Amino acid sequence: MPKRKSGFRAPTVQAPPARVAGLPADYAEFLEDLKVRIREARMRAGIAANQELLLLYYGIGFDLHSRLEMGTWGTGIVNRLAEDLHRAFPEMEGFSPRNLRRMRAFYRAYPLDEQSRVIWPRAVAKLELVKWPRAVAKLTWGHNVILLEKCKDPVERDWYAQAALEHGWSRDILVIQLESELHKRQGKALTNFKRTLPPPQSDLAQQVVKDPYTFDFLTSAGDAHEREIERGLVEHMQRFLLELGVGFAFVGRQVHMEVGGEDFYIDLLFYHLRLRCYVVIELKAGAFKPEHAGKMNFYLSAVDDHLRHKDDQPSVGIILCKSKNRLIAEYALRDTHKPIGVSAYKLTKALPEKLKGTLPTIKDLEAALGK
């Protein structure tokens, strides 16, 4: 099989530390082991501190809810409580009226059963009484607040909590994924992966692809051409990679392939670090057509022959179209032997020219806010 071309660079492996003259022979190894232990201990300490903070907030939420539910306290007492806590702990943040109400909402999202409510005030091992999903206990308070305020369905909230923990999403990224309704799109693309890939690889590959893809960082005034969309995706590569998902590494745009003395160009080429394979992406400005599958099949054969390493898995193709007829796509992929997925994409509609002048600009808004 031909060697991999220079467009892909394998990850480098850090060399072991060099031995320093005058030190014991096992010193370098001991130092590296100690660094690992210290990092792990710091991580455990951080997780423990986070859980203690969540338990504190949960307990405050329980107390507030119990008193408000019984009617012994009015809702206005929360403002007074916030003032008194701020005076008592001026160096601490988190006791604003709004955050105290969030603590109550946190408790209500994961309430104690009747027996645990009786035990709670005098319980020592309070964490054992709480029915939190595993991911919730390991996420920060800020992450949990976003989940509580933007995701009312408990099943969906648990899905996003697990995904945020697994992929290490920041709070900003979590908001983006919630607003784009990732849970409805993840793994929903029409593919032939189950027939063309072995079971472990096919399941993982199916979860990698979405339908539809949301390119809300791109605008379209009407009929956007494929090259315009392609150029926009490359210019916004960070957002594009975020939408593609974890594991995608960009290899190139308009990647040249010579087959039979003729030149061909792949729109976008990626390497997926978890799938261990190349991913070919072809952009189509219009609806999906059966011939798109044939062209993708050709590209995948070329990539497997010219770029794929002997340790790589078979290359995967994703055809991104403005729209698709599901039955037509199913027929087109039915007898195709290469792993291919077909997904739609969405662009943000550009404002009509006649409206642009009627809306305030960023400068106007900043001036109005006194910035």
User: pLDDT tens digits, the chain, 371 residues: what are they?
Assistant: 444 444 444 444 445 555 556 777 776 787 788 788 878 777 777 778 888 889 889 988 998 898 888 877 777 888 888 888 888 888 888 889 999 999 999 999 999 988 888 888 888 788 788 888 889 988 999 999 999 999 999 999 999 999 999 888 889 889 988 988 899 898 888 898 888 998 888 888 898 888 888 887 776 555 567 778 888 888 888 888 888 888 899 999 999 999 999 999 999 999 999 899 999 999 988 899 999 999 999 999 999 999 999 999 999 999 999 899 999 999 999 989 999 999 998 876 544 555 445 545 545 545 555 54
Domain boundary among 131, 165, 182: 182
Alpha carbons 183 and 192: distance in angstroms, whole number = 21
The token duo for 140 is 């920060």
Q: Residue 132 sits in which domain range?
A: 27-182
Residue 215 shares a structural domain with residue 271: yes
Amino acid at 277: C
Last residue of a domain, one of 182, 204, 222: 182
Q: Is residue 11 situated within a structural domain?
A: no
pLDDT at residue 21 in the model? 61
Looking at the fold, whether 102 and 197 belong to one and the same domain comes out as no
pLDDT at residue number 363: 55
Give the residue from 156, 182, 208 where a domain finishes.
182
Give whole-number Cα distances, 201 to 12, 26, 304, in Å: 25, 41, 16
161 with 47, same domain: the answer is: yes
- Residue 272's pLDDT is what? 93
- What is the rounded CA–CA span in Å between residue 68 and residue 78? 10
Are 194 and 157 contained in the same domain?
A: no
Same-domain check for residues 204 and 239 = yes
Same domain, 162 and 196: no
Q: Is residue 10 situated within a structural domain?
A: no
Residue 350 confidence (pLDDT): 47
User: Which pLDDT score, from 0 to 100, does residue 180 have?
Assistant: 86
| CATH number reported for the structural domain that contains residue 271 in this entry | 3.40.1350.10
Kindly state whether residue 41 falls inside one of the protein's structural domains. Answer: yes
Domain match, 108 and 139 both: yes
User: What was the pLDDT predicted at 3?
Assistant: 44
359 is a domain residue = no
Same-domain pairing of 147 and 191: no
In a domain, 38, yes or no: yes
In this structure, the answer to whether residues 219 and 336 fall within a common structural domain is: yes
Query: Which amino acid is it at 242?
Result: L
Residue 6 lies in a domain: no
Whether 174 and 213 share a structural domain? no
Clarify whether residues 195 and 319 are in a common domain. Answer: yes
Q: Is 5 part of a structural domain of the chain?
A: no
Domain assignment present for residue 35? The answer is yes
Amino acid identity for residue 17 in this structure: P
What's the pLDDT at 362? Answer: 47
Domain count along the chain: 2
pTM of the predicted structure, to 2 decimals: 0.69
Domain check: are 34 and 167 in the same one?
A: yes
- Using CA atoms, how far apart are residues 8 and 21, in angstroms rounded to an integer? 38
Considering only CA atoms, which of 208, 193, 186, 194 is closest in space to residue 300? Answer: 193
Cis amide bond preceding 212, omega within 30 = yes
